[in-house]
Amino acid sequence: MARGAEGIGAPCAFFAGMPLMVTGAGDNELAMASMGDERATVPATSPPELKVPRTRTSGALVAVVVTLLVGLLMLIFILQNGTSQRMAFLWLHFTVPLGVGFLLAGILGGLLVVLIGIARIAQIRLVARRHARAEHPQIQPPLN
């Protein structure tokens, strides 16, 4: 395998005009001053950090990953708790595996939270609609 004209230990032409970097020399002023270059008075600066803002897609990805992990943990729990248990809910009496019973209880609790959230959103929209009507009353056309 031929490595080209530089060889293994020879300096690359790309780095020929660049100042020598000394590790542990702070902001590298000593190494730059030893070169006798006009760039010796300019301190080395790091490029600005690129910050990418969070997006809805990245938030959705995180939500999907967390949901999948929770679903996997629930599946493991259900499979490990397969012993049947007699349960009663209101007027219903039935026998289900213990893990499935806990899953059903969790789903019913989640549905209750969703219903409360829907009621709260409807309440906020109603207040906003009333506020908008009071602030901007509709002009009635004159009656002839």
Q: How far apart are CA 47 and CA 51, in angstroms?
A: 12
pLDDT of residue 61: 92
90-139 pLDDT per residue, tens? 888 989 888 888 888 888 999 999 999 999 999 999 999 888 888 877 76
Taking the CB of residue 90, how many other CB atoms lie within 10 A of it?
5
Q: Locate the domains of the chain by residue range.
A: 11-44, 57-135
Q: What percent of the chain has pLDDT over 90?
A: 21
**Token duo for residue 18:** 């660049």
pLDDT exceeds 80 at position 58: yes
Is residue 102 a contact partner of residue 75, using CB atoms and an 8 Å limit?
no
Q: How far apart are CA 71 and CA 78, in angstroms?
A: 10
Is residue 37 a contact partner of residue 19, using CB atoms and an 8 Å limit?
yes
Q: pTM of the predicted model, to two decimals?
A: 0.46
